[in-house]
Amino acid sequence: MWRTKSRGGRDAGFNKYWWGWEEIRKMNAVAQKYIDTARHGSTMRIVVGQAWNPHRIMVNHDGKSQTDWDSGMLMNYAGWTHQMEFWAFPTKRSGTIRIAVGQAWNPHRIMVNHDGKSQAEWDSGMKMDYAGWKHQMEFWVYPSRTEDGNHVWGVNSGDAIYYRAGHSGSWEHIGGGLKQVSVSGDGNHVWGVNSKDEIYYRAGYSGSWERIDGRLKQVSI
């Protein structure tokens, strides 16, 4: 699971800029999964550069446009040395979290999702104009690997609902009755319709069914 908290302090002081490399690598691994199917027009390229004395990072320096970064430009720019890159979503998708990037100077560096605020607040659209940081950009990523086959939902001919934790799991009966069900790749969002075409939503295995207004023959995520 990707951790959204900074490993640094709570302000933009000289020694408080740090954001861990391991978090970046995890985010890269998750975002990379979607490049082949969603790169053109639906993702944005995030380019990471590093500098030293002190050691720090920068993403998508605002001296260049997003079009420049999407075209393949490296972060060998304005004194930064290219370190890595990944692709992310410019808008929210089911199961994603929002990454708000702030920057500060002397020395120039970034902070993402300052831990003085919750992930829910960042997801709601809060800017990184906080604790001495100035908002630079934002993007959306999956917080964990998805579509790994570990969340299987199904219904039988009697509209009984079943769940299985992947290939190695066993079928477990879930309360309720649906004629059709659809689940997000991370298993956190389950939608379905019953024999009356009523729509239901459930926040994953640990959630509970919630009636959604309207009627549909089927749903798909």
pLDDT category at 25 given cuts 50, 70, 90 is low
Neighbours of 146 (CB within 10 A): 19
Hunting for tokens 């749903």 — which residue is that?
219
Note the pLDDT of residue 75: 97
The four Cα atoms 46, 57, 98, 12 give a dihedral, to 10 degrees, of -150
Q: Which of 196, 192, 197 is CA-nearest to residue 221?
A: 192
What is the pTM assigned to this prediction?
0.56
Q: What average pLDDT does range 181-196 have in this prediction? A: 90
Looking at the structure, do residues 64 and 95 belong to the same domain, yes or no? yes
Q: How many domains does the chain have?
A: 2
Q: Which two tokens stand for residue 191?
A: 């939608």
Q: Which of 143, 151, 147 is CA-nearest to residue 167?
A: 151
Residue 10 domain flag = no
Q: Evaluate whether 155 touches 162 at the Cβ level (below 8 Å).
A: yes
Looking at the structure, do residues 132 and 159 belong to the same domain, yes or no? no
User: Whole domain around residue 38: which residue ranges?
Assistant: 21-141
Residue 81 domain flag = yes
Looking at the structure, do residues 133 and 27 belong to the same domain, yes or no? yes
pLDDT digits (tens, 9 = 90+) for 35-90: 443 443 478 999 999 999 999 999 999 999 999 999 999 999 999 999 999 999 89
DSSP 8-state code for residue 9:
-
Give 137's strand partners.
101
Residue 3 domain flag = no
Q: Strand 172-177 to strand 180-183: parallel, antiparallel, or no bridges (unpaired)?
A: unpaired
Domain end (from 107, 141, 175): 141
Cα dist. 177→3, 62, 181, 193, 217 in Å?
36, 52, 10, 9, 14
Residue 210 domain flag = yes
Looking at the structure, do residues 167 and 127 belong to the same domain, yes or no? no
Note the pLDDT of residue 12: 46
pLDDT digits (tens, 9 = 90+) for 107-151: 999 999 999 999 999 999 999 999 999 999 999 987 765 566 778
Mapping DSSP onto H, E and C, the string for 140-201 reads EECCCCCCCCCCEEEECCCCEEEEECCCCCCCEEEEEECCEEEECCCCCCEEEECCCCEEEE
Looking at the structure, do residues 25 and 124 belong to the same domain, yes or no? yes
Residue 220 domain flag = no
pLDDT category at 2 given cuts 50, 70, 90 is very low
Residue 46 domain flag = yes
pLDDT category at 185 given cuts 50, 70, 90 is confident
Looking at the structure, do residues 51 and 103 belong to the same domain, yes or no? yes
